[in-house]
Chain A
Amino acid sequence: MHSITLVVNGVVREATVPARTLLSDCLRHHLGLTGTHVGCEHGVCGCCTVLMDGEPVRSCLTLAVTADGHEITTVEGLAGPGGALSPVQRAFAECHGLQCGFCTPGFLCTATALLAENPDPSDDEIVEGISGNLCRCTGYQNIVKSVRRAAELIREEA
């Protein structure tokens, strides 16, 4: 067993995990943050995407022990103080960018990082940015629209 310390959504969290524990399982089952979803456990679907030191990574392809000492942001940490939805979250609601919601946390984390790096992405850049996340419900059209709208919201509110 390994004792690890993660800073999750700004809060120092400690866990004792076997070495083989995936970061996704650590977040979900050891820390109770079930907003991060697990869709394939081989790194293809992107449902489990979280931000590690600000960069989106697959939490199912990361060992919790490797993440020791790093900052992790999950979907639970995207909203602002007091629970106000972030521009990305609001845009997804406004543009119907989700249906069953299972892939959504991965898209939200990915889009949040994408817009932090590139606040005014072209449609091609949006598509490339979210190209590693599967969605079985929406056909992606409204997800692209949501990311575009989120960029607008961020600019308007800057």
Chain B
Amino acid sequence: MKPPPFDYHAPRDLGEALAVLAETGEHGKVLAGGQSLIPLLNMRLAAPGHLVDINRIDPLDTLTATAEGVTVGALARHSRVERSSEAAAAQPLLRQALRLVAHPVIRNRGTVVGSLVHADPAAEMPAVLALLGGSVRLARADGPAREVAAADFFTGPLESALRPGELAVSAFFPALPPRSGTAFREFARRHGDYALAGIAALVTLDEAGAVGAVKVACIGVGATPIVLDLTGVEPDAVAHAVRGRIEPEADIHASADYRRHLAGVLAARAVDEANGEARRAFDHAGR
């Protein structure tokens, strides 16, 4: 289990990185944290001709939290975002989800943007981006960067809208709206494994304190994170509503029926928790 040979590029700045990516096209692969890519290389399931290591491009190692949201640069590690109280204050779902991403040691190297680009349908961060309606910024050498909305970014299992020659330079996660709460519930065979199913939930109360909008994103039950608008669904009908709107597949760890069932259970739990968080936010704002 050793990687196949490749040409290695270690650009010092973004321009150089984009130039190499432009030149290598579909043969070029970006190495950031490597926590998903290098296992594939070691198993020789991937054999890119060129590896573009962006770890030396310090300007990509950014994390900015504002009233609008959190912008995560391509080199910001999971652990940095997880620890950032500014990021958690602007969008608590980030920390809630990041605590569930693999194990602490993997989070020390793995990057948030890398996880988005990897687009594993069972991964947490794509669901967070999808639920919040965030976006990914894709830069290229021969044109302006483009901002791709989450809804357009995840195109299939392990497939994203990233084109050859492009580099995902950052991702933007919108801030938590007022009177809102979030939660992330998932169920994995072992702690830290990819989840059999998982739910990210966002609940927003109206100005009177009644439940306004309810949205969830489901992982592990479709080809991409599945965002469902559950606004108006009674709490005890959430599980049923979710189960009726997903088509999970069986694998060696769980049957399709079980995944469907589980997604419902987790959705009810996540919405309940997010509702509680929203309630707290509402009460806090009212005081």
Is there any pair of Cβ atoms, one from A and one from B, under 8 angstroms apart in the complex?
yes
Does B12 reach chain A (CB closer than 8 Å)? no
Which residues 62-112 of A sit at the B interface, judged by CB distance below 8 A? 62-63, 65-66, 110
Closest approach, in angstroms, between the C-beta of A127 and any C-beta of chain B?
9
- Say yes or no: is B31 at the interface (Cβ < 8 Å to chain A): yes
A22 at interface, CB cutoff 8 A: yes
Residues B109 and A63 in contact, CB atoms below 8 Å apart: no
Stretch at the interface among A7-15, A41-49, A138-146, A147-155: A41-49
- Report which of A2, A22, A61, A132 forms a contact with B104, defined as CB distance below 8 A: A132
B104 near A129 (CB under 8 angstroms)?
yes
Residues of the A chain whose Cβ atoms lie less than 8 Å from the Cβ of B191: 131
Chain A contributes a number of interface residues (CB within 8 A of B) equal to 27
Q: Cβ of B5 < 8 Å from any Cβ of A?
A: yes
The answer, yes or no, to whether A19 is at the interface (CB within 8 Å) is yes
Interface-central residue, B4, B6, B10, B108, by most chain A CB under 10 Å: B108
Does B209 sit within 8 A of A, measured CB to CB? no
- Cβ distance B194 to chain A, nearest Cβ, rounded Å: 11
Residues from chain A with a CB closer than 8 A to the CB of B43 are 42
Are A61 and B38 in contact (CB-based, < 8 A)?
A: yes
- Measured CA separation A153–B160 after assembly (Å): 49
* Binary CB contact string for chain B from 1 to 19 against chain A (1 if under 8 A, 0 otherwise): 1111111101000000000
Give the complex CA separation of A43 and B42 in angstroms. 10
How distant is the Cα of A82 from the Cα of B18 in the complex, in angstroms? Answer: 49
Q: Taking the complex as formed, is A55 at the interface, i.e. its CB lies under 8 A from any CB of chain B?
A: yes
Chain B positions 41-56 with a Cβ under 8 Å from a chain A Cβ? 41-43, 51, 53, 55
Q: In the complex, what distance in Å separates the CA atom of A155 from the CA atom of B192?
A: 30
Whether A19 and B104, one on each chain, are in contact in the complex, defined by CB atoms closer than 8 angstroms, is no
Most buried by A among B1, B4, B103, B191: B103
Most interface-central of A22, A63, A110, A133 (chain B CB within 10 A):
A63
Taking a contact as CB atoms closer than 8 A, the residue among A49, A56, A63 that contacts B53 in the complex is A63
Partner of B1, one of A42, A49, A65: A42
Measured between beta carbons, the chain B residues less than 8 angstroms from A132 are 102-106, 192
Is A66 within 8 A of B192, CB to CB? no
Q: Check if B7 sits within 8 Å of A62, measured CB to CB.
A: no
Residue B96 at the A interface, CB < 8 A? no
A2 to B3, CA, bound (A): 16
Query: Given A19-B51, A63-B53, A66-B53, do A56 and B108 touch, yes or no (CB 8 Å)?
Result: yes
CA distance A131 to B10 in the complex (A): 32
B155 interfacial contact with A, CB 8 Å:
no
Pick from B2, B7, B31, B38: contact of A43, CB below 8 A. B38
Residue of A22, A49, A58, A65 touching B8 (CB-CB under 8 A): A65
A151 CA / B5 CA spacing, docked (Å): 44
Contact indicator B108/A57 (Cβ below 8 Å):
yes
| Chain B: minimal CB distance from A114 (Å) | 8
B69 contacts A by Cβ under 8 Å: no
Whether B35 contacts A58 by the Cβ 8 Å rule is: yes
Closest to B99 in A: A128
B-side contacts of A2, CB under 8 Å: 8
Interchain CB contact under 8 A, B104 and A46: no
Bound state CA distance, A17 and B53, in angstroms? 16
Whether B178 is near chain A, meaning CB under 8 Å from some CB there, is no
Residues of B within 8 A of A49 (CB): 105
Q: Does B39 contact A (CB under 8 A)?
A: yes
User: Can you report 23 A-B residue pairs in the complex whose CB atoms are below 8 A from each other?
Assistant: A2-B8, A19-B51, A20-B2, A20-B4, A20-B5, A20-B41, A42-B42, A42-B43, A43-B35, A55-B108, A56-B105, A56-B108, A57-B105, A60-B38, A61-B35, A62-B109, A63-B53, A66-B34, A129-B104, A131-B103, A132-B104, A132-B192, A133-B105
Query: What residues of chain A have their CB less than 8 Å away from a CB belonging to chain B?
Result: 2, 18-20, 22, 25, 41-43, 46, 49, 55-58, 60-63, 65-66, 110, 128-129, 131-133
9 closest cross-chain pairs (CB), A and B: A132-B103, A19-B8, A42-B39, A41-B1, A20-B3, A61-B38, A56-B105, A55-B108, A132-B105
